[in-house]
Amino acid sequence: MQKHFEIRYLSLTVTLTALQTAELPAFLGSTLRGVVGQALLQTDQEACAFLYRNGDGEVNGKITAKPYMILPPKVCTPQTVIEQGDYLKFKILLFGRAEKYLSSVVSALVRIGRFGLGARRYQFELRDIIDSQTQRIVWRRGKYFKAAATAAMVPYREMRNAAGAVVELCTPLRIRHGGRLLRTLSFQTLIRNIINRIADLTERYGGWLDKEEADKVLESAGNIQTVYERVKMIGLERYSNRIDRKMDFSGLCGRIEYAGEMSQFVPWLYAAQCLHIGRNTTFGMGKIQVYFIR
């Protein structure tokens, strides 16, 4: 199998224990990102700058990718209520060179209890950290097992005779064009955003991309047709402490079915399930799930 891109990443599953009953927002991506950032700033300012402020701002209207993602629990209700003693689980992904800051991230997670979650600063404490790939314990009961965390490659899979795909937009997808959020998603737009995501991560944080092949794939994506689309704009807001105001967090959710010879796109679509696409991926936005039709 000849690969056309490669990205290393660490995936950590973090479990917190609620020390009191907590009423939190339904989508916890922004909440978790904020508290981890606060703890990381006090733990290791270099690590915080690399993860949180690397590439701040836009270049030609393009948001630069950060070398991490926080994947919150699945949204099931309008509000997340966690009873005292219950667990809150989420994931942190570190891409490429961000791996070297693993120890600082672990130390920051241990400090989370000092800050609390949500506007009311509900108290939680770290229960454990698990390597999501190997299921080995990275931290538990005050002990850190650095060797248990093992970097893996973003999945690269192939499939022959794929005649179509159903793409589920699991968390709000935010893609802007001409200053506006897109309310529909052509297959070529989807592939373009996947390629851009991979290109941005590999250029800044390590790995590689066959740009010639990526150009061919993007051109071919124009031949794939949308045969079914049921998506809607989900309205969300988040409060930014940095700018002291609420920010629009809305994005598309739903399902889209595409038809056409899909085999050459399979590796890119598989990778996107891990990497997410669009804006605000650091909060867990832009998560997709793909189902292939043969």
CA atoms within 13 A on the CB side of 111: 17
Q: Which residue carries 């309205």 as its tokens?
A: 235
Looking at every residue in the chain, the average pLDDT score rounds to: 91
Q: What distances in angstroms separate CA 238 from CA 119, 132, 171, 254, one per listed residue?
A: 11, 28, 15, 21
34-41: long-range contacts, CB 8 A cutoff, minimum separation 24: 34/241, 35/112, 35/115, 35/116, 35/117, 36/70, 36/92, 36/105, 36/108, 36/109, 36/112, 38/115, 39/108, 39/109, 39/111, 39/112, 39/114, 39/115, 40/104, 40/105, 40/108
pLDDT in tens, 35-94: 999 999 999 999 999 999 886 655 555 668 999 999 998 755 556 789 999 999 999 999
List, as one string, the DSSP characters of 99-151: GGGHHHHHHHHHTGGGT-BTTTTB-EEEEEEEETTT--EEEETTEE-GGG---
CB 256 within 8 A of CB 291: no
pLDDT in tens, 124-163: 999 999 999 999 999 999 999 999 999 999 999 999 989 9
Band (pLDDT 50/70/90 cuts) for residue 286 is very high
Could you tell me which residues are beta bridge partners of residue 290?
Answer: 167
Name the residue among 227, 245, 232 with its Cα closest to residue 172. 232
Cβ atoms < 10 Å from Cβ of 245: 9
β-pairing, 180-181 with 237-240?
A: unpaired
pTM for this prediction? 0.92
CB 224 within 8 A of CB 264: no
